[in-house]
């Protein structure tokens, strides 16, 4: 009977060691995975007036994360895509976009070339789109303002957008 008890005690201790070993392996794998995991925190933090974003992650050609903020007068979309073949924005990109009847500006943001595009949609939305390739990612901040918004409201929303770009660390 004592032998059975010892054996049970050994089995119990063995099971406890196995559980601890399994826990250590699981935590180690998690720690190794974390640097490669996608954070659901946007790379740029808009102000409180935008509220909580709707988060989406998808893969078409590149793995992309997207945060969508919606207000009555405007929508802000922040995108971050892995892109191994992307190149920094150049004057050629700006010229290509501008030749299609739109307006684009080449600018430097934190010593990295970026493009700011202006586009009036036939559906009544005025777009401001900021694009930059930085730190191995293609970032895009898209602001869509309803054309039915008052000019004062539109102006304030655009100011916030440009301030968001200026203060970002992309």
Same domain, 62 and 31: no
Reduced to 3 states, what is the DSSP secondary structure of residue 100?
coil
Asked if the structure places residue 61 within a domain, the reply is yes
Asked if the structure places residue 42 within a domain, the reply is no
Q: Are 66 and 78 in contact (CB under 8 A)?
A: yes
Same domain, 28 and 60: no
Contacts of 91 (CB under 8 A, 6+ apart): 106
In the chain, the number of structural domains is: 2
Residue 74's pLDDT band (cuts 50, 70, 90): very high
What is the model's pLDDT at position 30? 44
Residue 60 predicted with pLDDT over 60: yes
Beta bridge partners of 145: 74, 126
Q: Is 14 left (phi over 0), alpha (psi -120 to 50) or beta?
A: alpha
Domain containing residue 125: 48-167
Over residues 10-37, the pLDDT tens digits come to 445 555 565 554 545 555 544 444 444 4
**Nearest to 147, CA basis, from 106, 114, 119, 112:** 119
**pTM for this structure?**
0.74
Asked if the structure places residue 29 within a domain, the reply is yes
């Amino acid at each position: 009977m004592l032998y059975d008890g010892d054996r049970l005690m050994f089995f119990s201790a063995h099971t406890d060691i196995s559980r601890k070993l399994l826990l250590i392996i699981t935590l180690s794998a998690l720690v190794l995975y974390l640097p490669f995991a996608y954070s659901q925190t946007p790379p740029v933090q808009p102000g409180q007036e935008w509220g909580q974003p709707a988060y989406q992650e998808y893969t078409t050609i590149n793995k992309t994360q997207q945060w969508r903020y919606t207000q009555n007068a405007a929508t802000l979309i922040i995108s971050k895509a892995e892109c191994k073949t992307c190149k920094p924005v150049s004057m050629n990109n700006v010229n290509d976009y501008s030749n299609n009847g739109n307006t684009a500006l080449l600018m430097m943001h934190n010593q990295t070339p970026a493009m700011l595009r202006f586009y009036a949609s036939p559906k009544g939305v005025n777009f401001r789109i900021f694009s930059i390739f930085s730190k191995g990612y293609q970032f895009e901040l898209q602001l869509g303002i309803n054309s039915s918004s008052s000019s004062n409201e539109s102006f304030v929303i655009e100011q916030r957008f440009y301030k968001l770009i200026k203060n970002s660390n992309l």
